[in-house]
Structure 1
Amino acid sequence: MENLLKSLSKALAGFACVVLLAVMLITFVDVVGRYFFNSPITFAVEMIQLGMGLLVLFGLAITTLDRGHIAVDVLDTVVPKFVQRIFAMLAALSAVVFITLVAWRLWDRGIKFYEDGLATDVLFLPVWPVVILMAVAASVAAFIALVQFFIPSIQGDTHPLAPDLED
């Protein structure tokens, strides 16, 4: 199971790298065209917007697998180990809930955009394929979070049932 999750998250991270490269290239060419040739790329803004959405969601799976989300551990030094354990489990559960909500809303929006025929303003590209790709990436991240909640030893340095939190 862990190998499957690693493979999925690494594949999505690889796609994120490709998207980042494309966004950087479009931005570079747009800036050079705008300031040196007075001829910007007309579709740059919409491509960068779509690319940034993909970039964030494609990176979500590997961030979730590595337990790299933001965590504030202000109270960890002043509460007993069993309370730390409860906090860790609540944090893991909240990750599952939040990422699942994001995935659900993306699926909903992707289907709605398909039905409405929503397209970009300049190139008239349909938006729904990008949103569906984002939904797939969020669904993978939600699955990883769910697996990590039930099998905390999968990846990451800190997990809800870490040995140092044992009583």
Structure 2
Amino acid sequence: MQHLRALNDRVTRALLVLAAVLAFLLCFLVVADVLGRVIFNSPVKGTVEIVSLSIVVICYLQAGFAIRSGGMLNVDMFVGKASPRVQSVFAAVAALAGLVFFAIICWGSVDGAAHAWSSNEFEGEGALRVPVWPARFIVVLGTALAAFSYLLLLVQHCASAARGVGPGVAGASH
């Protein structure tokens, strides 16, 4: 189990770095588009399409890391007053809910990704058409990794509940 956690952490960190690089590169595209509009009265073609698809890609590339690092939304106003065992049980229930949520999104996204690939679907009209399939497959990858991250947390929190100890920092890898 420890090897799976370590592998998951390495993959989620790598995808986080990829998302950061993509966001950094998008900054240059947006600046070039604004300068092109203002100075040359000619924007960079396809900026809207590239940025809109890249935002989706960035979000789903970061989902697994957000879960493993404890960065997902967590309300513990009432849970914090419970015993450590009950806290672990609530954390396990929350991990199960996250697992189901992301697994459903993953399952529902597979057909769309396959269709985008087979039909050669593009976003945009005119001079620059951006293929949609990379973003669709990244949604599948990101949600699968998020579901797997929640599965690891579910196992961790169930083990904590069985031992009668608290969950610790929600989502933190140990």
Q: Shared topology, TM-score over 0.5?
A: yes
**1:15 counterpart = 2:18:** yes
Letter in 2 for 1:151: Q
**Structure 1 vs Structure 2: percent identity of aligned residues?**
24
Gaps of 5+ in 2: 169-174
**Are 2:88 and 2:165, in contact at CA under 8 Å, matched by a contact in 1?**
no
Aligned-residue Cα RMSD (Å) equals 2.5
Letter in 1 for 2:123: T
**Are 2:88 and 2:161, in contact at CA under 8 Å, matched by a contact in 1?**
yes
CA distance in 2, matches of 1:130, 1:55: 9
CA distance in 2, matches of 1:81, 1:164: 4
CA distance in 2, matches of 1:139, 1:43: 29
SS at match of 1:134: helix
SS at match of 1:40: coil
**Are 2:57 and 2:138, in contact at CA under 8 Å, matched by a contact in 1?**
yes
CA distance in 2, matches of 1:101, 1:160: 26
Letter in 1 for 2:29: I
Partner of 1:43: 46
Letter in 1 for 2:99: V
Runs of at least 4 residues of structure 1 off by over 4 A?
77-82, 159-162
Partner of 2:146: 141
**1:85 counterpart = 2:88:** yes
1:76-112, Cα deviation, whole Å (9 max, x unpaired): 2454554433322211111111111222222221012
CA distance in 2, matches of 1:47, 1:87: 40
SS at match of 2:130: coil
TM-score normalised by length of structure 1: 0.83
Q: CA deviation at 1:121?
A: 1.5
In structure 2, the CA distance between the partners of 1:165 and 1:96, relative to structure 1 (3 Å rule), is closer
**1:125 counterpart = 2:130:** yes
Pairs aligned (count)? 161
Partner of 2:28: 25
CA distance in 1, matches of 2:123, 2:18: 22
Letter in 1 for 2:165: P
CA distance in 2, matches of 1:160, 1:14: 33
Letter in 1 for 2:75: V
In structure 2, the CA distance between the partners of 1:152 and 1:83, relative to structure 1 (3 Å rule), is closer
Q: CA deviation at 1:51?
A: 0.7
